[in-house]
Amino acid sequence: MLRTPCAATVRQAAGKDETLGGESNPAGPAITPSQIELQADCGRCFALCCVAPTFAASAEFAIDKAAGQPCPNLCADFSCSIHDRLRPSGFRGCAAFDCFGAGQKVAQDTFGGRDWRGDARVGKQMFATFFVMRQLHELLWYVREALRLGPADPLPGQLGSAWEAIEQCTNLAADKLVKLNVGTLRRETNPLLLRTSEQVRSRTGRLGPELRGADLIGKDLGGADLRRANLRGAGLIGTRLRGADLRGADLTGADLRGTELAGARLDTAIFLTQAQIDLAKGDATTTLPDSLTHPVHWPSSDCPPG
C-alpha cells in the first residue's frame, strides 16, 4: 500500500510537536468549517453511497445489492425515490449512513464534477476512491472533535499536525488515493485520540469502567453508572441502557444498533456521532450533546421506541 508524506507526518506528530514544515506549532492550525466539509451534501454528490457499497438483506437493508450496482430506488437525478420513508421501507442503514462529506469531495474535487455513468472505468475508480475518502473524512471528524474537547499541551499541536497530514491525503489524485493505507493513518492517529479521551474523561473525576471492545450485546444495564467509561468499540446492540448515566463516556465506534437509551444521560459523552444515535432507540428524555439532534423517529414521550 502507498506510504505517502501524509502518513509519515501523522506518525511524526504522535511523537513530536511538529508541523508539515517542521516548525513548532503548539496551538495547532486554525481549523474552520471552510477548510474541509465533514457533513454530507447530497446535492453535490452523485449518490455514491447508493451505488458503491454492497448491501446484504438484513434488519438494516431490505435487499441484497452488489457493489457498483445502483440501488433500485435511485432516480435518474441521483435522488432517492423512497427518501421520505426509508425506515418503514426496511432501509434503516441508509437513513443512518453518514459519509462525513466524502461524497461531494470525491464527486466535485477528486473527479472534477464527472459522474460515474457512461464510463465503467471511471465509475469503478470513483467507487473505490469514495470508500477511502470516507475513511479519511471520518478520521478528520474525530481529530476535529478531539481539538474541540480542548486537551492540554502538547496535544493540540500534535492533533493539528495530524489534521494537516490527513487533509493532505484527501487531496491526492484518485490513482494514489485508492492505494493509500488508511489503516496506517488510523493507527498513527489513534494514540492522540486515546490520550485526548483520557485527559477529558479525567477532568471531572476518576476514570470510569474500562469497557473498550466489551461484548455487552443484549445486556440489561438500565440505570448503570457509566460516567467517564471507556466504551470505544463496545458491542451495545440491543443493550438496555434506560436511565444509564453515560456523561463523559467515550463512545468511539461503539455499536449502538437498537440500543435502548430512553432517559439515558449522554449530554457530555465524547466522540459520539449522529449516525450512532440514529441507529439507537431513545426518546425525548434522552439527553444528547449539543452538536447532535434527537432523531425524528424517536418517540416524543417515554414509551417503547419503535
**Cell numbers representing residue 192 in the block:** 492522540
Reduced to 3 states (helix: H, G, I; strand: E, B; else coil), residue 251 is coil
198-248 pLDDT per residue, tens: 999 999 999 999 999 999 999 999 999 999 999 999 999 999 999 999 999
Confidence of residue 300 (pLDDT cuts 50, 70, 90): confident
**Cell numbers representing residue 198 in the block:** 483520557
CA distance 202 to 195: 11
For the chain, what is the largest distance between any 2 Cα atoms, rounded to a whole number of angstroms? 58
Residue 79 pLDDT more than 50? Answer: yes
Please give the distance of CA 167 from its chain centroid, rounded to a whole number: 16
**pTM of the prediction?**
0.88
**Cell numbers representing residue 89 in the block:** 421501507
Please give the distance of CA 125 from its chain centroid, rounded to a whole number: 23
For 189-221, give one letter per residue: b (16+ CB within 10 A) or e: bbebbbbbbeebbeeeeeebeebbebebeeeeb
The chain-wide mean pLDDT, for the chain, equals 89
105-118 pLDDT per residue, tens: 999 999 999 999 98
CA distance 153 to 151: 7
Q: Can you give the pLDDT at residue 36?
A: 75
| Domains, the chain, ordered by start | 5-45+99-201 (no CATH), 206-306 (2.160.20.80)
HEC states along 268-304? CCECCCHHHHHCCECCCCCECCCCCCCCCCCCCCCCC
What's the distance, Cα to Cα, between the start and end of the chain in Å? 44
- DSSP H helices, the chain, are 5-15, 92-96, 102-104, 120-148, 155-170, 174-177, 182-201, 274-278
CA distance 239 to 222: 9
